[in-house]
Structures are given as structure tokens and as C-alpha cells.
A and B are shown apart, each in its own frame.
Chain A
Amino acid sequence: MRSEEHLLVEEQLITAKDTKAEKTTSEKEITEAVLPDKPRCLDEEYEMVYHRPKTMVDVSMHYCPGCAHSLVHKLVMEVVDELGIQEETIGVAPVGCAVFAYDYMNIDMSEAAHGRACATATGIKRLMPDRYVFTYQGDGDLAAIGIAETLHTINRGENITIVFMNNAVYGMTSGQMAPTSLVGMKTTTSPFGRDVMDYGEPIRVSELISHLPGAFYVTRQAVNSATAVRKAKKALMNAFRYQKLKKGTSFVEIIGNCPSNWKMTPIEASKFIDDEMIKTFPLGDIKLPKGEDLKLLEEVK
């Protein structure tokens, strides 16, 4: 079972790697991240340093090898575990690769129509304002077909958490151009590369929505290195905790990878994020709570 001590060990393992890690992701580092120093074993004589969050269902996932979704699912469920809010949390799944999220997350969930997760979450949260409600959406779902619901939900300051997985491509339908596809990026529907004359620049959703007063916390993270994973989890933890304040929407964009549709190995895809994606989508906090809200935050800690 997870205990404070085990958490500490896990933290130390990651921190040890952090100090070594460069900003770019090398093959060596990924190997290290996957294989911890201590063997994973259920025998009593060994110390348990890692286990599946109890809010994750023990089934094989449909995600491609190296895909960020499975990792981010785990992070969200770790947050639910660590906050002890399984009974109070309702998730909303999108249409896209994460459409089956409810197969993996052991919480009550609703599978929304394409792009409408924010509206569905609004319906749930308005009726149950004390529950933790989150949406988990991809870039096609949130930034193309669902941009109206996204903007209005955030503008109303719905007290929900939006987990926005941006991998610059439609994954489930096999690699079509997304509103967040990079300039020049080749996809099945932009075979010669995304042309700004035809499709404009990729939408930087986090920057866009940060201007809305209803957006309380906006951050962009990645999960392509141990450091990034740790930061992303912290951001998700903050985003969930902020719901208690009823001060507005918390929005966590995560730059994910899509090795299958980017036609890359997982390692190449992780490198592509550092080398290319973050030029268009720089990582970091975009909007943070200020003033009085900061004091309130101390109370919920």
C-alpha cells in the first residue's frame, strides 16, 4: 500500500534523476525513468516503491505504446487518490483517443459527445457544486468542434478542472490535422504540411483562455521526462484543489505525444516535444491565483 514513506522514496527517485536530467530527453534518461533502481516486487521482503493508483482499473489499455494518455490518466487518478476524493469526483470523457477513459478510471464518469465535455461537466457541476468535476479532452475535441463550449464554460468560471491533452493531431481517426497542428506539420489531411495561408496558425488555447476572467489557473505542462511528469502532476493536484475555492476554472494543458500518428518512436516523439512543440507551445504557468486568492489557497492546503 502507498504510504507517506513510499511517496517519499518515489519522490527521491525522481528528484535524483532530475538533478542529472538535461532539458532535452535522451534515450538513456527514459530507460532510467522506466526502470527504477530498486526492483519492483510484491514479495514482503522488498519495499514497495510504486504501484497502480487504487482509482485505476486493472485492465490493459488500448493506447499505443509510448502514448502520453495512459500516463496522464495515471497522474489524474493519483491526484484523486492522494486527495482522497474518489467518492466526490465525476469525470467527463471526450470523443477521441480518451473516449474509453471510463474503462480505466474507477470513478463515476460520463462520456460526452464530441466537443461537448465542458457543457456536460457544467450540467453536472451546477447540480452538484461540491463535487470535483473534471473533463479530459483532446485538441480536436476541445479546440476545434468544442471551442465554443470551452470558451463559454471558462468565461462563466465553472468550478471544474479541464485537462487538455494537446498532441497536435487527431489521434483516434488516424492522424488528421488538428487546430493545434504545428505550422508545416505533415498530417494525413495536410500532406504537404500545414499551410498558414490555408489554415492559419495553431491555436494557443491556454494563452487564449487566460484572458477570460473566469479562468482561475492556467498552465501548460508536458510528460516527456521525469521532471515534466512531476511538474504536470503538481499542476493537476493544484487544479483539483482549486475547485474547492469556487473561484473559477482550472485549466491544465498537457503537451502529449502521438508516436503512431507522428510516425516516430516514443523516444523520437518525446524529443520532438522538446525540439519543436514547445516552440509553439511554451511550457509553464500562464495564469496563477493572486492576492486574496493566494490566502484562500493556504486554507485548502
Chain B
Amino acid sequence: MKMETKLMKGNEALAEAAIQAGCDAYFGYPITPQSEVLEYLAKEMPGRGGVVLQAESEVASINMIYGAAGAGFRSMTSSSSPGISLMQEGISYIAGAELPCLIVNVNRAGPGLGTIQPGQGDYFQSTKGGGHGDYRLIVLAPSSVQEMADFVFLGFDLADKYRNPVLILSDGAIGQMMEKVTFGKFKPNKVDKPWATVGKPATRERNYITSLHIKPEMLEKHNEKLIAKYEEVKKNEVRFEEINTEDAEYLMVAYGLCARICHKAVNMAREKGIKVGLLRPITLFPFPSEKLNLLADKMKLMLTVELNSGQMIEDVKLAVNGKVPVEFYGRLGGMLPNPDEIVNKLENLIKKNHAL
């Protein structure tokens, strides 16, 4: 495929990438700040061989995904926080029935109706299951418009590889901002799905898609199978980006939009002579725990920066297991931190740490 660079909104880049990644079906419902995905696909997809449908609710869209994914088609839905909450039951069924699909959350600030500005308050919901029962999504956190596009290809491939729903956890800023984005780097990589409900030929037993295992012995086995799958995902799919960690004594940990702000803060702190680095988790599940644990050996302090009141910090603390102090800085309600604020926070923490 020819390489092509365009100036696009994050949401539009994601939508274009979906078509190029061979998405067969998109079902969605309007909600700010991600409606561009549905709008773009409503215009582009019919002429390019895909099915697009505006559902009556997020509850309906996720269950349309359940049907389409169960029939073996590459299927995607997108929404923003309140809509993703509505989808949780369906996502739990999809995880239970082991269906591959791509779900996109352009995270806005909550709780409740909250605001349409960016947030990272859905970290717990995204990485710990979200709906009822004991399951995990594979969670990818883009921090640029380019990654909004690239992670669609990666997301579909991981979903198919593990027969598991994949979540792209973006936010209102990444979704709305315009940046250069290059297409043509990846090809659609479709796989056979002999388990799909496409109509039973005489040559095979019937296929059925279900998350029901009424006998506890059977359900326990099913759960164990899921857990084994998640362990495999943890082993193979951890992704992160390291910035200036080689000589670092202090480490910032941030994902998505926050990682971009922290990158600037790292540069500013370095100019002041503070040896600070940044670890940006790209997969939030599986979380780069091992990497953080290794880094903890040479750090004096870690600072987690999030657009919430402190959610990922729990995973960072679990990862370092008490080796170093882990501190937190966050802004709430759709507010974003300036790089200065973060540098100030780091400087104060360093002083406090020395005083101890």
C-alpha cells in the first residue's frame, strides 16, 4: 500500500484506519467527544465495502457487535465514558464468549454526565474488567493521532489472536486534536474463524456463541481458560515507551495525553539539571509491571501523573512493591496540568524526600 500523510483529527484517523484494517462492521451511537468516528464511517464505509449502522443506544451497539463478531466479522464500536458504561454488560458477555472485537473509549471527565473535556477517570473500568465477572480487556493507550490510527491495526490483530475484546483508551484531547498521520504502514491481517456462527454445514457440528456455563465445574474451567489466556497476553504483549531513563534518578509514569505533557516536563526538568525520565505504558493491560520493577532499582522516586484522582498509581505501586516511594499528581474534571506544575511537584517531592 502507498504511504500517505494527512492532517486529521484523532477520531477521523481512527475511523480511516478501521476501514484500512478491514473492519467489516461498525455500530455506534453519537456522543461527544467521539461522534466524528460515526460521522466519518457513515460517509466513507458504505462505498468501501463495510457495514455501518447508527444504533438506538450504546447498549444496542455493543450487542450488534456481539452478533457480528460472533459471526466472525471484524467489528468495531466507539463511544465516550457514559456510553462505555452502558456497554459494560455487553462487553462482559463478549469477553465471556471470547469474541474478538475493537472497542474505543474517547475518555471524557466524569463521574455521571461530567463534561466533554478529556479525562482518564476510566482507567479502573478499562483495565480491571469494567463489567460484571472476572475478565480483562487488552487495553491500548494512544498518545498521538498517529497512534489512534496504528493501534486500530494492532487492536484488531490482538483481538483475533487471543479471541478477546481490545479496548483503545483514548481521551477527548487525542480524539479532537489534529496532527499529521501516515497511512500505509500496515495491512489488514484477517484470520479464519471456524468457530463463527455463519450457518452450520453438514460437515461440522453446530457452532454456538455463549457465555453461559450453568454447571459451576464447567464455569470454573472456563474461567481458568480465560485466566491462562490473560497470562499469555501478559507474557507476550506488554508495550511501553521509555524516555530518558538511562541515567534517570527520578521517573514519571504517565499514559496517553498525560505522557505528552510529562515528556515536556521531563525536558524542562532536565534543563534544570534534574535527572528524570518517563515511562509511558502503551498497553495498560497488560501493564508493564516487570519493567517498572526493574526501573525501581535505580530510581529514588516515582511520580505518576494522571487526569484523575489516582488510578494507575495503584498498578505502579503493585509493580514496584515498595522499592521506591510512588507519588501522585493529577488534575480533575477535564482540567489539564501544565508542564510547569508537574516540574514544581517533582521539585517539591525531591526536597521533601531529601528532608526525610
- Report which A residues bind B (CB closer than 8 A): 86-90, 92-93, 99-100, 102, 105-113, 116, 119-124, 126-128, 131, 148-149, 152
In the complex, which residues of chain B have a beta carbon less than 8 angstroms from the beta carbon of A107?
199-200, 206
Q: Are A123 and B197 in contact (CB under 8 A)?
A: no
- Report which B residues bind A (CB closer than 8 A): 24-25, 27, 51, 53, 55-57, 59-61, 63-71, 73, 75, 89-90, 93, 97, 197-202, 206-212
In the complex, which residues of chain A have a beta carbon less than 8 angstroms from the beta carbon of B197?
90, 108-110, 124
Query: Are A131 and B90 CB-contacts (below 8 A) given A102-B208, A119-B63, A123-B64?
Result: no
In the complex, which residues of chain A have a beta carbon less than 8 angstroms from the beta carbon of B51?
126-127
In the complex, which residues of chain B have a beta carbon less than 8 angstroms from the beta carbon of A86?
199-200, 202
Q: How far is the CA of A106 from the CA of B73 in the complex (A)?
A: 22
Query: Are A110 and B70 CB-contacts (below 8 A) given A116-B63, A119-B63, A123-B63?
Result: yes
Q: Looking at B63, B65, B89, B208, which has the most chain A CB atoms within 10 Å of its CB?
A: B63
In the complex, which residues of chain A have a beta carbon less than 8 angstroms from the beta carbon of B210?
93, 102, 110-111
In the complex, which residues of chain A have a beta carbon less than 8 angstroms from the beta carbon of B207?
108-109
Q: How far is the CA of A131 from the CA of B200 in the complex (A)?
A: 11
Q: Which of B25, B56, B201, B206 contacts A123 (CB under 8 A)?
A: B25
B164, chain A: closest CB distance, angstroms: 18
Nearest chain B residue, comparing its CB with the CB of A124? B67
Q: How far is the CA of A93 from the CA of B71 in the complex (A)?
A: 15
Q: Are A106 and B206 in contact (CB under 8 A)?
A: yes
Q: Looking at B60, B90, B198, which has the most chain A CB atoms within 10 Å of its CB?
A: B60
Q: Are A126 and B68 in contact (CB under 8 A)?
A: yes
In the complex, which residues of chain B have a beta carbon less than 8 angstroms from the beta carbon of A106?
200, 206
Q: Are A128 and B209 in contact (CB under 8 A)?
A: no
Q: Show 17 residue pairs from A and B whose CB-CB distance is below 8 angstroms, ordered by the A residue.
A: A102-B208, A106-B200, A109-B206, A109-B209, A110-B197, A110-B210, A111-B208, A112-B93, A120-B66, A123-B27, A123-B63, A124-B197, A127-B25, A131-B198, A131-B199, A148-B57, A152-B55
In the complex, which residues of chain B have a beta carbon less than 8 angstroms from the beta carbon of A99?
212
In the complex, which residues of chain B have a beta carbon less than 8 angstroms from the beta carbon of A124?
67-68, 70-71, 197
In the complex, which residues of chain A have a beta carbon less than 8 angstroms from the beta carbon of B73?
127
In the complex, which residues of chain A have a beta carbon less than 8 angstroms from the beta carbon of B69?
123
Query: Are A149 and B209 CB-contacts (below 8 A) given A110-B70, A121-B67, A127-B73?
Result: no
Q: Are A112 and B63 in contact (CB under 8 A)?
A: yes
Q: How far is the CA of A108 from the CA of B69 in the complex (A)?
A: 14
Q: How far is the CA of A92 from the CA of B67 in the complex (A)?
A: 9
Q: How far is the CA of A121 from the CA of B63 in the complex (A)?
A: 9
Q: Are B206 and A126 in contact (CB under 8 A)?
A: no
Q: Are B206 and A148 in contact (CB under 8 A)?
A: no
B224, chain A: closest CB distance, angstroms: 21
Q: Are A108 and B25 in contact (CB under 8 A)?
A: no
Q: Which of A90, A109, A123, A127 contacts B66 (CB under 8 A)?
A: A123
In the complex, which residues of chain A have a beta carbon less than 8 angstroms from the beta carbon of B212?
99-100, 111
In the complex, which residues of chain A have a beta carbon less than 8 angstroms from the beta carbon of B198?
90, 108, 128, 131
Q: Which of A90, A113, A119, A126 contacts B199 (CB under 8 A)?
A: A90
Q: How far is the CA of A94 from the CA of B254 in the complex (A)?
A: 43
Q: Are A113 and B63 in contact (CB under 8 A)?
A: yes
Q: Are B66 and A116 in contact (CB under 8 A)?
A: yes
Q: Are B60 and A149 in contact (CB under 8 A)?
A: yes
In the complex, which residues of chain B have a beta carbon less than 8 angstroms from the beta carbon of A92?
67
Q: Are A111 and B199 in contact (CB under 8 A)?
A: no
Q: Which of A87, A93, A110 contacts B67 (CB under 8 A)?
A: A110
Q: Are B93 and A113 in contact (CB under 8 A)?
A: yes
In the complex, which residues of chain B have a beta carbon less than 8 angstroms from the beta carbon of A116?
59-60, 63, 66, 90
Nearest chain A residue, comparing its CB with the CB of B24? A127
